[in-house]
């Protein structure tokens, strides 16, 4: 009996020894082809509950919904603010634009001026941490916390000036996009380390990404930017002194992140200069 059943592998042993008439325990090898061809292979059949459990996916996130539209959304209250970011103060005027923090200021980016809003962008937790290849969740949480905290600062800064506040928040949102995508013009050792870590986390353009098995930094931003914007809205709403309702149009995810950073800053500077001229003209008329 032992010699007859000594077939070398467990599946072949089961097929010979059990004599099951409903299932085959081997995948129709030549010696058993006629015998097993009409029998289903036992190890291919999973229980229905097993199949359904394996196909489960996460289909929603609390920040999928705009916080202005969903009155029952308590998620805003759970986002952690970053104290140094919300305690800042800045003058949003032309005199405080500067180029001293710009990377490669002597050559490629010569003459570029950075808006005070960008210099005070909440990035300490985002770019001040080091990341391993598998820490995308940590990266996202730090980005959400940073965007939320910057939203608080902008809400405190602009308060009732909603149009100016919205524009500033859109520009800051786009600056976060540049940081994630590696196209930000701000320099520094933290940024260098951050870009080095994200190059390992998203190796789309180097030898580690054989077969294009990982997404790019740009793709990751596209997948997560709605959550970043809604986190900023949470923060802005928290930072405002008054409790008035915000315009529902704020819920639309901005498209400024598709515009080159230098061009955005140039437009931002031009709008401030225009508004300053208008104010000066009005003051002279009313004097």
Decide if 150 is inside a domain: yes
d(CA 114, CA 200): 29
Instruction: Please report the DSSP string for 174-241 in residue order.
Output: HHHHHHHHT---B--HHHHHHHHHHHHHS-TTSTT-TTS-S--HHHHHHHHHHHHHHHHHHHHHHH-S
Decide if 23 is inside a domain: no
Token couple for 124:
């300490």
Token couple for 190:
């933290």
- Domain of 254 in residue numbering reads as 36-286
DSSP helix/strand/coil, 100? coil
DSSP helix/strand/coil, 14? helix
Give the HSE-up count for residue 276: Cα atoms under 13 Å, Cβ half-sphere: 10
- What pLDDT score does 233 carry? 94
Decide if 11 is inside a domain: no
What pTM does this model have?
0.75
Decide if 266 is inside a domain: yes
Location of structure tokens 């995508």: 181
How many structural domains comprise the chain?
Answer: 1
Per-residue pLDDT of the chain (287 residues; tens, 9 = 90+): 555 555 567 767 766 776 676 677 676 554 455 555 566 766 665 555 544 555 455 557 889 888 876 655 678 889 999 999 998 887 778 888 988 889 887 788 888 999 999 999 999 999 999 999 999 999 999 999 999 999 999 999 988 667 889 999 999 999 999 999 999 999 888 999 999 999 999 987 655 555 455 799 999 999 999 999 999 999 998 998 776 677 888 999 999 999 999 999 999 999 888 876 666 666 666 65
Decide if 85 is inside a domain: yes
CB distance 175 to 118 below 8 Å: yes
Decide if 239 is inside a domain: yes
d(CA 285, CA 229): 40
Residues 6+ apart with CB under 8 A from 29: none
Of 228, 225, 234, 222, the closest CA to residue 69 belongs to 234
Residues in the chain: 287
Token couple for 280:
């000066």
Q: What are phi and psi of 41, to 5 degrees?
A: -70, 125
CATH number for position 53: 1.20.1310.20
d(CA 111, CA 89): 25
Decide if 123 is inside a domain: yes
Of 64, 70, 68, 74, the closest CA to residue 248 belongs to 68
Tell me how crowded residue 81 is: count the other CB atoms within 10 A of its CB: 19
Residues 6+ apart with CB under 8 A from 114: 97, 98, 99, 101, 102, 185, 186, 265
Decide if 120 is inside a domain: yes
């Amino acid at each position: 009996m032992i010699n007859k059943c000594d077939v070398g592998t467990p599946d072949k042993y089961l097929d010979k020894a059990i004599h099951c008439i409903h299932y085959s325990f081997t995948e129709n090898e030549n010696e058993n082809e006629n015998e097993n061809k009409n029998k289903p292979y036992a190890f291919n059949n999973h229980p229905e509950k097993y199949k359904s459990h394996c196909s489960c996916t996460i289909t929603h996130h609390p920040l999928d919904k705009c916080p202005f539209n969903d009155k029952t959304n308590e998620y805003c209250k759970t986002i952690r603010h970053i104290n140094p970011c919300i305690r800042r103060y800045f003058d949003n005027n032309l005199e405080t634009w500067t180029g001293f923090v710009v990377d490669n200021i002597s050559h490629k980016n010569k003459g570029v001026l950075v808006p005070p809003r960008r210099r005070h962008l909440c990035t300490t937790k985002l770019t001040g941490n080091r990341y391993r290849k598998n820490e995308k969740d940590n990266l996202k949480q730090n980005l959400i916390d940073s965007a939320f905290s910057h939203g608080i600062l902008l809400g405190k800064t602009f308060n009732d000036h909603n149009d100016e506040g919205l524009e500033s928040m859109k520009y800051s949102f786009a600056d976060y996009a540049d940081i994630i995508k590696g196209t930000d013009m701000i320099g520094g050792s933290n940024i260098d380390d951050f870009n080095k870590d994200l190059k390992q986390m998203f190796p789309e353009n180097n030898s580690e990404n054989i077969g294009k098995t990982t997404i790019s930094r740009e793709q990751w931003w596209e997948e997560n930017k709605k959550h970043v914007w809604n986190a900023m809205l949470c923060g802005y709403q928290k930072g405002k002194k008054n409790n008035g309702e915000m315009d529902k149009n704020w819920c639309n995810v901005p498209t400024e992140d598709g515009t080159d950073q230098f061009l955005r800053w140039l437009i931002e500077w031009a709008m401030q200069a225009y508004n300053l001229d208008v104010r000066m003209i009005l003051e002279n008329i009313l004097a």
